[in-house]
Amino acid sequence: MANRSDKICAEKYREAISLYSESNLSIRVICESTGVCARAFSSYLSKNHRDLIVKRHNLSEYKSVKLRGQRGQTTASHYKYRDAIAACDSTEFIEYNISQIARIFDVDSLSLLGQLRRHYPEIVPRRERERERMGISSNLQYGARKKTTETYNRAIEVLLSSDMTIEEVADECHVSHTGLREYILAYHPEVTLDREQKRSIAKGQQLRGQRNGSWTRHDPYQSSIEKYERAIDIYKTTTTEVKEIARLVGVSLGGLRYHVRTWHPELMVQRRGFEEGVPFEQTKRYKQATAEKYAEAIEQLKSSDDTTAKVATDFGLNAEVFRAYVKEHYPELAEARGMIRANDGRVVSCRSASKYAEALRVYETSTETLKSIAKQFGLTYNSLGGFIRRNHPEAIERHNSLCTTAVERFEDGIKRLEESDETINAVMQEFGYNDYFRMYVKANYPQLLNRKVARKRCSGTKVAAEKYAPAIELLQTTSLSMADIAKSLSINIGSLRKYVSKHRADLLSRTYINA
């Protein structure tokens, strides 16, 4: 991916690189003629074509030369004043003052002095001490005048003790902006150093009312405050949704959201039900109107043992949406009614775990059958058995280890199957066996599963037998037709005929007297 990006950049800046290496055009002119961004092209040059920069500026020992960064002397200034600065630091030109040296090298005297003060502050004091030692002092006063010091003294104190800008301090102390700036650069480099350290610490800081890396105060514009003032008041005092507030006030939804999120995060914290001072990142996102909607349902969920679905039905809520809301904002309630992870790593229902806990304890610590345990605790046998099989198979092993071996345990049931024609279900019900008996028979006595058994005739339900008993009696003792009997007893002829065909087919072939 990196190689592909390098190829794209090389193709993009190919024409600009050619012009830069073959001509003396400035970067700005080159970029205007080739249609590329000047800042991007300058950065690309510094990273990938440093040799071209060295060649253009005639840099000697270029490997140790550091091009200008965020602050410092520019390359152009370095080469413009290089000879004059070297002369100021040389004993060959010790007899000349700074202005004379500037005229000798055809540079501006004030600009040369500014370069010395900003980037070579040690040269001027050393030069003056040497001139005084040699007795060629001009007897001129150097350094700040007393009146100037008195003028800027208060401004320096304010700068060192506050985070105000030079312009703000100059306005407060009623002094010149540029004069104060030059005075600081010349006589108070510690102020500049202190400000640079503060700006370095504040870099990337986005706290309202405090300075950031560019030393501007992080505050909204006055026009924005006035624009969203009414919307913020509604947002603060009501539970109206942001979309509705934007519509009522007549501002854009995105602009209002950005204003609230950037300048009023404490209001968002309060809307989420937290006290002031809680970090916004530690709060959960939800609408206050939604919280009010589910408030009564949450209270019932806390005070009762009802399921989440039942509570949602009672309050006319969507069960899945309400369950998701509880899981996100009330995890303790969701955990009490939801799924938990058992010691063996399986995920089980919390309610089922508590419901079957005592029955499970008795089952795995005794030889009592599961059916009798279910009856003892008033539980459904199938539900209890399914819960144990799915989530606690080790309990079955511990229970069986307490019982006799399978051969001894199922001996009576196998004997009954061999000596009678009863079905395996009837034997299991008689001896209280579970499905393990069927598995045991299938594995060791498969012939007992395939044998023919005499099943009991199904005589119909008790209600049907009682209902049709008088009709059956008349069919046996009289020669009346089935239709006459059904009419006399007010019975549906179709139902009677169906019952007789199924349970007393022998009565269908009798002779009867037509009505």
Residue predicted with more confidence, 409 or 81: 81
pLDDT per position as a tens digit, 384-393: 888 788 777 8
Q: Strand pairing partners for 308? A: none
Q: Same domain, yes or no, for 242 and 262?
A: yes
Q: Which residues contact 253 (CB under 8 A, 6 or more apart)?
A: 242, 243, 246
- Does 302 map to a domain? yes
Q: Number of structural domains, the chain?
A: 4
Residue where a domain terminates, one of 18, 46, 64:
64
Q: Which range marks the domain in which residue 42 is found?
A: 2-64
Q: Which residues contact 248 (CB under 8 A, 6 or more apart)?
A: 234, 240
Three-state DSSP state, 513: strand
- Does 368 map to a domain? no
Cα radius of gyration (the chain): 49
| 72 has a pLDDT exceeding 80 | no
| 333 has a pLDDT exceeding 80 | no
Residue where a domain terminates, one of 306, 322, 337:
337
Q: Same domain, yes or no, for 276 and 303?
A: no
- Does 304 map to a domain? yes
| 52 has a pLDDT exceeding 90 | no
Q: Taking residues 253-260, what's their average pLDDT? A: 89
- Does 7 map to a domain? yes
pLDDT per position as a tens digit, 342-372: 555 555 566 666 677 788 888 877 767 788 7
- Does 215 map to a domain? no
Q: Which residues contact 471 (CB under 8 A, 6 or more apart)?
A: 482, 485, 486, 489, 491, 496
Q: Same domain, yes or no, for 269 and 306?
A: no
Residue where a domain terminates, one of 64, 82, 98:
64
- Does 13 map to a domain? yes
| pTM: predicted TM-score of the whole model, two decimal places | 0.40
Q: 341-346, long-range: CB within 8 Å, 24+ apart, which pairs? A: 342/391, 344/394, 346/391
| 463 has a pLDDT exceeding 90 | no
- Does 322 map to a domain? yes
C-alpha span between 271 and 358 (Å, rounded): 45
- Does 22 map to a domain? yes
| 103 has a pLDDT exceeding 90 | yes
Q: Same domain, yes or no, for 250 and 298?
A: no
Nearest partner of 409 among 387, 433, 388, 439, judged by Cα: 433
Three-state DSSP state, 457: coil
Q: Which residues contact 476 (CB under 8 A, 6 or more apart)?
A: 507
